[in-house]
Structure 1
Amino acid sequence: MRQTGAAVAFYALSIVLLPVSLLGYAIWVVKLRAAKPSGVSTSAQAPLSARWAMHNFGVREDQAANRLLPVLPGVPWLGMRLAFWPTVLAHRVTGYVPKTFRYPFEGRIPPQAEASARVTFFDSAVDRFLPAIDQLVILGAGFDTRPYRLPQDTPVSSFEVDAPKTQAVKRAMLDKAGIDARKVTFVPADFEKDDWLAKLADAGFDPGRPVLFLWEGVTVMMELACVAAWLEV
């Protein structure tokens, strides 16, 4: 009953504040359309937005996501605050967390909740294998923040492999947000043209040491033949 009451109060407050959210999204869309193309897919922002929301709902600690989202190209500070503030405020007043952002995700996963739900799976994989690996490689890293959530004293070497334009923007934004990326090795590679594994090795990756590869939310945007070629590697 208490959970039901919290949910009712949460959605009631969200409805009252809906005009504020809509204004924020309108500002965001206008800014996005007016901004100069950065070469980065807007779909890369969706998982980061999900992690930002989880952090602000208090269900998943991710200071890097919290600091990175506001400084991304095409994300206006005012629009972001207006879009998200009512939902975060409703949570803080009622204590209710929408199912989409609960951690771990509960039940059947609808398409609109995929970016949030899959975080659970990949975080669990990192937690499970971290004690046994020396290297963490994130393929198609986008704005993934997992390397910046690892314990400060971890001996694991992190590598991010991604398209050159996306990676250049991310590195600039990490610096702008004041996020320490010195323990991460960035490997720019076009997966459909370059030998990304060779580039990874040139950057210091050791195939003879224990490694965990993460490949999140990338395959749906690639040709099947390219995905198969990756898996054969």
Structure 2
Amino acid sequence: MFILAFLLFVPLQLLWLPISVIGAALVGYRQLVVSKRLGLSQTAVEIINGRWTMDVFGLRQDVTARKLAAAIPNNSTIGLWLCLFPLWAVQRLLGRPFLYPTRPAPEKATFANLVPSRTAEFDALIEANAATADQLVILGAGLDTRAYGPLRERFDRIYEVDEAANQAHKRAHLAAAGIDSEHVRFVEADFGQADWIQSLLPSDYDPSCRTVFLWEGVTLYLSQASVSATFETLQLNASADSIVLTDIYAQRIVKLMKNKAIRWSLEMTGEETNFGLDFAGDAEGVLARFASSNGTGLRQHQFLGSNHKSGPFVAIAQLALKSGE
């Protein structure tokens, strides 16, 4: 099957290459230049584009992601189609994804599979905890669209916490795309500030209720001090049986994203990678010690890319806010 897919894809991609280049230019211009002009995160666009692609290719249903990705001005779904058409055509012909987007076994995942693999792992952790939690708080929500799908029926209250500019941008374009967001509580906060929790507490957030805190794709861009401070803040302002679902990246990924080209693109929108753990040796022990050092208990977790000679590139973990619970 792989050989057949390869034989179909290569000539089609060669013929389509000039159009793919145009598509990549459209996506890159909107994601980088327009995001910079608007003062918005360009990495958030990268994630929603991954979710858009998963829906288009049938890996994961997310109609909201398709609508929102098409509505925001710092993105081009036309450009995405131009880039990905040869892969989509081969997938349609053979009935299975080829090269991208794919979701391999966790240990075989690569950074190219990050969005599909990471999304699937978080979806599973949220689903495992939804029945026993009252609140879902999405920290650094960006353009995440989970709150507008089936989860709206699973939690009594859903909060999206992010910086003011990102919130205003998202709310405006949810409305433009015709997506109902009245059930979501939008909270403006900056995790770089020690008192960010003061933005959440005046809402109807209830610290006594079991809460699922989803903290996806954020720790990489914070300092170690900010990561630890956030765990401490949550422990002081959440029930003992609440949990944090988060991803912690390997130091080699932090180093990779500091190379000249990637650093330049991130700096265009004021973003920088900072925090990671050394997973090159005893990844399990390193993650357990990280959880313990932050007063949390390591529960369900998954490493992506553990077959790599340098160890996994990310850990996706459920952390109990009270380690003894």
Q: Give CA-to-partner distance per residue, 1:109-149, whole Å, 9 cap, x none.
A: 32232233211111011111111111111000111111112
The secondary structure found in structure 2 opposite 1:212 is strand
Change (3 A) 1:96 1:192: same
**1:212 Cα offset (Å):** 0.5
Q: Give CA-to-partner distance per residue, 1:74-123, whole Å, 9 cap, x none.
A: 22354333223333233222323135533475542322322332111110
Structure 1 residue runs of 5 or longer lacking an equivalent are none
The secondary structure found in structure 2 opposite 1:191 is coil
**1:10 Cα offset (Å):** 3.9
The secondary structure found in structure 2 opposite 1:118 is helix
Task: Give, as a single letter, the amino acid of the residue that structure 2 aligns with 1:141.
Answer: A
Preserved CA contact (<8 Å) 2:137 2:214: yes
Distance 2:32 2:191 in 1: 28
Is residue 122 of structure 1 aligned with residue 122 of structure 2? yes
Structure 2 residue runs of 5 or longer lacking an equivalent are 234-325
Change (3 A) 1:115 1:153: closer
Distance 2:99 2:204 in 1: 41
Taking the TM superposition and a 5 Å limit, the aligned residue runs for 1:209-220 are 209-220=209-220
Which residue of structure 1 aligns with residue 143 of structure 2?
Answer: 143
Preserved CA contact (<8 Å) 2:160 2:184: yes
Taking the TM superposition and a 5 Å limit, the aligned residue runs for 1:1-233 are 2=1, 4-32=3-31, 35=34, 37-103=37-103, 106-150=106-150, 153-193=153-193, 195-233=195-233
Q: Give CA-to-partner distance per residue, 1:35-73, whole Å, 9 cap, x none.
A: 361121111111111111110111101001111111222
Distance 1:104 1:125 in 2: 18
Task: Give, as a single letter, the amino acid of the residue that structure 2 aligns with 1:159.
Answer: Y
Preserved CA contact (<8 Å) 2:32 2:42: no
Preserved CA contact (<8 Å) 1:105 1:120: no
The normalised TM-score by structure 1 is: 0.89
How many residues align? The count is 232
Instruction: Name the Cα RMSD after superposition.
Output: 2.2
The normalised TM-score by structure 2 is: 0.65
4+ residue runs over 6 A deviation: none
Greater radius of gyration (CA): 2
Distance 1:194 1:106 in 2: 35
The secondary structure found in structure 2 opposite 1:186 is strand
Change (3 A) 1:164 1:152: closer
**1:153 Cα offset (Å):** 3.9
Change (3 A) 1:232 1:50: same
Distance 1:5 1:186 in 2: 48
Change (3 A) 1:210 1:4: farther
The secondary structure found in structure 2 opposite 1:214 is strand
Distance 1:180 1:11 in 2: 42
Change (3 A) 1:105 1:196: farther
The secondary structure found in structure 2 opposite 1:116 is helix
Task: Give, as a single letter, the amino acid of the residue that structure 2 aligns with 1:87.
Answer: L
Distance 1:77 1:53 in 2: 10
Change (3 A) 1:34 1:103: closer
Q: Which moved more, 1:125-134 or 1:97-106?
A: 97-106
